[in-house]
Amino acid sequence: MRLRLPEERPTEPPTGHKIAHPVLSQDGTRAGFTGVSLGGALPYGVVADASCVYGLRHRPPHRRCDCGFHSVHDRTVAEALLCGSEHRTALLLEVSVLGAYIRFEHGFRSARQRVRTATAGPCACGTAAAALADAGWGRPGWRVLAPSCAGCLRGRIAVSLAQFARLAGDGLRVRAAGGTAAPAAGADTGTAQGLGVPELVAEAALLQARLDWFQTQLARLGRPGAEGPAQG
Ligand SMILES: [Zn+2]
Ligand SMILES: [Zn+2]
């Protein structure tokens, strides 16, 4: 006889919380996430199906494996993970737990998930994040990003929070939390669709910061062709 756990049939998918690093594809056209531990090598999109991280031929979440999307019930438990030194720049995700799932004391392991909201902590300088910028490491084909304010972007590859939401698609919301206020900081930067005034102000601030940096670099190179148009 095989013992079975009672099956749940919720009317709405349960909500889970987790942390993950935001990633941007090498060509800059796709955005997603990569887990902080198990499964960290496999970037996933906003709506995704789990595959067994050990390459076993079973459907996650398998009872005798630990594959599937992991999440916890309690947001503060997920938030606590962000204190770990290697997780400081990860985002806090709120997910819908979809498909078959196994519920345990602290959370879920599921076949499928939808990331509803991603929350970016402050820039390393303490200012609220306005963008997600190249963190200096990644996976093959994917750059890992980290929260950055406009002032700390410099020449790094970066996307605004709203751009990240657009590239990731599927109605993802990306917001900034914590840190000292910057223009439009803390505002919900909207979904993949409609940008409002705060989002456009934030985009303009980013562009201005980029332009300032660019002009500083140009100035450093001197002013070639000051006596007339450059030849060649
Ligand atoms: Zn497995
Ligand atoms: Zn900064």
**Mean pLDDT, residues 10-29:** 95
Q: pLDDT value at position 5?
A: 62
19 forms beta bridges with 92
- Given a cut of 90, whether residue 197 has pLDDT beyond it is no
Mean pLDDT (the chain) is: 87
Q: 1 or 64: whose pLDDT is higher?
A: 64
- Given a cut of 50, whether residue 185 has pLDDT beyond it is no
- Given a cut of 80, whether residue 6 has pLDDT beyond it is no
127 forms beta bridges with 180
Q: 211 or 27: whose pLDDT is higher?
A: 27
> Ligand 2 centre from 180 Cα, in Å?
10
- Given a cut of 70, whether residue 4 has pLDDT beyond it is no
> Ligand 2 centre from 97 Cα, in Å?
34
Q: Which residue reads 């963190």 in tokens? A: 135
**Mean pLDDT, residues 222-229:** 58
List the chain domain ranges. 15-219
pLDDT bucket at 212, cuts 50 / 70 / 90:
confident
> Ligand 2 centre from 167 Cα, in Å?
23
Ligand nearest to the CA of 67: 1
**Mean pLDDT, residues 130-153:** 95
Q: pLDDT value at position 222?
A: 80
- Given a cut of 80, whether residue 157 has pLDDT beyond it is yes
**pTM, 2 dp:** 0.81
> Ligand 2 centre from 147 Cα, in Å?
9
Collapsing DSSP to helix, strand or coil, 94 comes out as: strand
Concatenate the DSSP letters of all residues of 198-231 into one string: HHHHHHHHHHHHHHHHHHHHHHHT--TTTTSPPP
- Between CA 224 and CA 232 the distance in angstroms is 13
Ligand nearest to the CA of 62: 1
pLDDT bucket at 138, cuts 50 / 70 / 90:
very high
Asked if residues 114 and 106 have their Cβ atoms less than 8 Å apart, the reply is no
Q: 191 or 141: whose pLDDT is higher?
A: 141
Contacts (Cβ under 8 Å, ≥6 apart) of 50: 39, 60, 61, 67, 68, 69, 110, 111, 112, 113
> Ligand 2 centre from 14 Cα, in Å?
35
> Ligand 2 centre from 148 Cα, in Å?
5
**Mean pLDDT, residues 143-172:** 95
- Given a cut of 70, whether residue 38 has pLDDT beyond it is no
Alpha helices by DSSP H, listed for 109-170, are: 161-168
> Ligand 2 centre from 200 Cα, in Å?
19
Q: pLDDT value at position 27?
A: 96
> Ligand 1 centre from 48 Cα, in Å?
16
The dihedral sign for the CA sequence 198, 202, 208, 212:
positive
Q: 221 or 78: whose pLDDT is higher?
A: 78
Which helix (H) or strand (E) is 78 found in, with range?
helix 75-81
Instruction: Specify the DSSP class assigned to residue 5.
Output: P
Burial of 102 (0-12, 13-18, 19+ CB in 10 A): middle
